[in-house]
Amino acid sequence: MDERVQFIAEWLKGEESRAVLCRRFGISRKTGYQLATRYACEAEGAFRPRSRAPHQQALAMAERVEAALLQLRARYPRWGPRKLRAWLGDHQPAQRWPAPSTIGALLQRHGLTISRRRRPRVPVAPPPVAAEQPNDRWAADFKGAFWTGDGRRCDPLTLTDHASRFLLRCQLVAALSATWVRPIFEAAFREYGLPRAILTDNGPPFVTTGLHGLSRLAVWWLKLGIQPTRTEPGHPEQNGRHERMHETLAAETTRPPAATVRAQQRCLTKFRQMYNHERPHEALGQCPPARVYQPSPRAYPERLPEFEYAAGADVRRVRPNGALRWGTQEIYLSQALAGECIALEEILDDRWCVRFGPLTLGWLDTRAAAAPAGRARRTAVNLHLLPMCPV
């Protein structure tokens, strides 16, 4: 600043030529003439340093583009830069939209982002049934209990397709029982067809503490040709896609919860519509799940079919108390099998394999056991259990 003031003072005196004066101050004649011109126009303002940044950036974001991004962010406040860009590119393909990093910087300038700690990835066990196509495997679970503004408890049952992430059902139930859950599954089967398998956790009403954990829902699925599969106890990451959907569901619909149960169900229905048809999914190439999902070609039957067993098998019906009659004895199987037909196939002498459709329940050992002295010989019938597995 001082050198500029001194240069202009010497320039105004005119005692030296301007070329000599510029050389003495170590500047070019072009710079000297610029300083003199600025002083003539602005007086003392010519001595202040000026920014060399361009007045307009060639690649700056247009105001209408910025407004469209901020408006969509206000509509979906939990969408990130990639989802915002994918949605706008899908609905306005003629417009050239900024890169996700540029959109992220815009959101950060407006205070619309929250820094999060990066969490290490947890290794996920391979799923029990491969799901490469829609309807190969569905996943079912309860979101977890929460309470509405009027103090009513809510338990949303969610049902998704594993391959396409399509949210098939998101419905509040009055109780965690097959009585309330089965109609929801039946409605989904009628609308979308039957999957190959359904993955659940080990809680009710999907699993019981009885034989092989069979529940009435599992028995119903087996008769429909659906394989019930389960995650290992204490390992929700084996159903990670479904659990990740629950995180989004909780953020969108339960923080805060609605005032009433009916209003909460409207929020869940609205979320399901948005999740399936609006929200881009990164694992699907930023496409909504509705564009990937296709209904199953296996239609829901009007009449529940019975299993067909091999010729020569001894087919018997389980008693109403869940027991199998063998001679004068009753062998308890499971209350979930009450009224169902099972097959006994003799695999060795006095040994019978007990099957329920594709499921091996165990085997019967009917060999005569040695009786103590002075007592008549009797037949000991033992039921040995096997893990649930298709045969």
DSSP codes, 189-242: HHHH---SEEEE-S-TTT--SSGGG--HHHHHHHHTT-EEEEPPTT-GGGGHHH
What pLDDT is stored for residue 312 in this prediction?
85
Q: What percent of the chain has pLDDT over 70?
A: 90
Residues 243 and 354 in one domain: no
Indicate which CATH number applies to the domain containing 171. Answer: 3.30.420.10
Q: Tokens 């600043």 label which residue?
A: 1
CA distances from 192 to 162, 247, 336 (A): 14, 25, 26
Q: Is 120 domain-assigned?
A: no
Indicate the number of domains in the chain.
4
The full length of the chain comes to: 391
Q: Is 75 domain-assigned?
A: yes
Residues 146 and 14 in one domain: no
Q: Residue 46 pLDDT > 80, yes or no?
A: no
Average pLDDT over residues 145-160: 95
Residues 39 and 68 in one domain: no
- Residue 52 confidence class, pLDDT cut points 50, 70, 90: confident
Residues 178 and 272 in one domain: yes
Q: How far apart are CA 347 and CA 366, in angstroms?
A: 12
Region for residue 218 given its phi and psi (left: phi exceeds 0; alpha: psi -120 to 50; beta: otherwise): alpha
Q: How far apart are CA 287 and CA 103, in angstroms?
A: 19
Q: Is 251 domain-assigned?
A: yes
- Asked if 359 and 346 touch (Cβ cutoff 8 Å), the reply is no
Average pLDDT over residues 135-154: 94
What pLDDT is stored for residue 342 in this prediction?
93
Between the CA atoms of 277, 98, 71 and 89, what dihedral angle is there, to the nearest 10 degrees? -30
Residues 226 and 286 in one domain: yes
Pick the residue with more confidence: 6 or 301? 301
Q: Is 297 domain-assigned?
A: no
Radius of gyration (C-alpha) of the chain in whole angstroms? 37
- Looking at 129-133, 312-316, 320-324, 382-386, which range is the least confident one? 382-386
Q: Is 207 domain-assigned?
A: yes
Sign, Cα dihedral of 165, 170, 175, 179: negative
Q: How far apart are CA 159 and CA 172, in angstroms?
A: 12
Q: How far apart are CA 322 and CA 338, in angstroms?
A: 5
Residues 266 and 201 in one domain: yes
Pick the residue with more confidence: 390 or 97? 97
Q: Residue 90 is part of which domain span?
A: 63-109
What pLDDT is stored for residue 370 in this prediction?
43
- Asked if 338 and 208 touch (Cβ cutoff 8 Å), the reply is no
Residues 178 and 221 in one domain: yes
Predicted confidence (pLDDT) per residue in 324-367, tens digit: 888 788 888 999 999 999 999 888 877 888 999 998 888 887 76
Residues 365 and 264 in one domain: no
Residues 146 and 194 in one domain: yes
- Asked if 31 and 21 touch (Cβ cutoff 8 Å), the reply is no
* Runs of H (alpha helix) within the chain: 2-13, 18-25, 29-42, 63-75, 81-91, 100-109, 178-192, 216-223, 240-253, 261-277
Residues 145 and 179 in one domain: yes
Q: Is 281 domain-assigned?
A: yes
Q: Is 296 domain-assigned?
A: no
Residues 278 and 355 in one domain: no
Q: Is 308 domain-assigned?
A: no
Q: What percent of the chain has pLDDT over 90?
A: 59
Give 383's strand partners: 364
Q: Which residues contact 43 (CB under 8 A, 6 or more apart)?
A: none
Residues 39 and 70 in one domain: no
Closest CA to 162 of 205, 203, 128: 128
On whether the pTM is more than 0.85, the answer is no
Q: Residue 152 pLDDT > 50, yes or no?
A: yes
Q: How far apart are CA 65 and CA 87, in angstroms?
A: 13
Q: How far apart are CA 220 and CA 178, in angstroms?
A: 11
